[in-house]
Amino acid sequence: MQTSNALDPQSPQARAIYDLAIPLTIIFALIFVIVTGAIIYAILRFRGRAGEPDPKQIPGNRNVEIAWTIIPFLIVILLLAMTISAMNRADPPPAPSPDLVVTGHQFWWQADYPASGVITANEIHIPTGKPLSVRLESKDVLHEFWVPELTRKMTNVPGQPNHIWLQADKPGTYIGQCSEFCGTQHAWMRILVVADEPSKFEEWQRAQLQPGQAATSDATAKGLVLFQTSTCINCHAIRGVTGADLRVAPDLTHVGSRKQLGAGILENTPANMRLWLKSPQHIKPGALMPDFNFTDEQLDQLAEYLSTLQ
Ligand SMILES: [Cu+2]
């Protein structure tokens, strides 16, 4: 399974944070070594021995006091300057309107691209080399959007949108993770960020804007009927097929084009789609999708139809 590495920045914003974290760690380590070293030296070198007279008492030393005021002051000023510069690079003010809105739900991510109208879930595509202004929202509790290689962490607060810049230098797939405990399946609330060359991104965007696939065979037609009659449509949308544009659960218009199901818990294969539909509560206990009692035949039909939603 792919993992993420916060020490391998792949965007100017993540690099700004990395470029701050490493020198700070070194400076703090040096201070720690110098201070503890001086203490240990003083303890060993000047410890009292039986029979020795008391050491000479020194009431104060102006030079030493000036030095140990000025040096820490300069260190703090240096840290402040480095931090402000990193904040300016990692976190400039938001654009007037967001390129992308990412909404946290228990336990999945919704993504809206306001300019194009693309709606998707758990897998966002971005063009390489372009900073995207991302508005972060939540539909229920606190979540936290974090793609370690690309961004800082930022909390999704219900009713109080937050902002980050999201960018990737080169094509690749980056793993994001909810990093604010939000309930039982918090650990399986992942998001994939797929960075594509701009032309490939445009292609993806065009494909995502297409309406959902209508049924193409007898089995998929039965699958679609099941979808429309088994309450799936109370929570999920297949745009152009099922009418209402719902945001209660992941948009399924192009679910077949995504790499994962259940916010990362399963790889998206026809067999795993069937497993999910058989019992989401077995795969992801506590997820907000109920179990249904489908027969094997019905599961085949539903899974087959959903897999055609490319
Ligand atoms: Cu969460």
Give the residues across from 133 on adjacent strands: 165
> 114 lies in a domain?
no
**Containing domain of residue 42, as a range?**
12-90
Note whether residue 259 is domain-resident: yes
Picking from 60, 75, 90, the residue at the C-terminal end of a domain is 90
155 close to 146: Cβ distance less than 8 angstroms:
no
Among 60, 90, 120, identify where a domain stops: 90
User: 136 in a domain, yes or no?
Assistant: no
In a domain, 189, yes or no: no
The domain tally of the chain equals 2
Domain CATH number, residue 247: 2.60.40.420
Ligand 1 centroid–CA 119 distance in Å is: 19
Cβ(126)–Cβ(102) below 8 Å? no
* Residue 56 neighbours by CB under 8 Å, 6+ apart: none
**53 domain-assigned:** yes
pTM score of the predicted model: 0.91
d(CA 15, CA 121): 27
pLDDT of residue 262: 96
Residue 299 lies in a domain: yes
Ligand 1 centroid – CA 247 distance (Å): 16
- Please choose, from the candidates 244, 205, 238, 200, the residue with its C-alpha nearest in 3D space to the C-alpha of residue 220: 238
CA of 229 to the centre of ligand 1 (A): 30
Task: Measure 178 CA to ligand 1 centroid, in angstroms.
Answer: 5
Distance 115 CA to ligand 1 centre (A): 26
- The enclosing domain of 56 has a CATH number of 1.10.287.90
Within a domain: 184: no
CB 118 within 8 A of CB 112: yes
Mean pLDDT in consecutive groups of 10 residues from the start of the chain, 310 residues: 86 96 96 96 89 85 93 95 95 95 97 95 96 97 97 96 96 96 96 97 96 90 94 92 82 95 95 96 96 94 94
Q: How far is the CA of 261 from the centre of ligand 1 (A)?
A: 16
Rounded to the nearest angstrom, the distance between the alpha carbon of 102 and the centre of ligand 1 is: 12
Provide the pLDDT for residue 98: 97
Question: Is 179 among the domain residues?
Answer: no
pLDDT score of 81: 97
Using only the alpha carbons of the chain, give its radius of gyration.
27
- Residue 190 CB coordination number (10 Å): 21
Asked which of 59, 90, 121 is the last residue of a domain, the reply is: 90
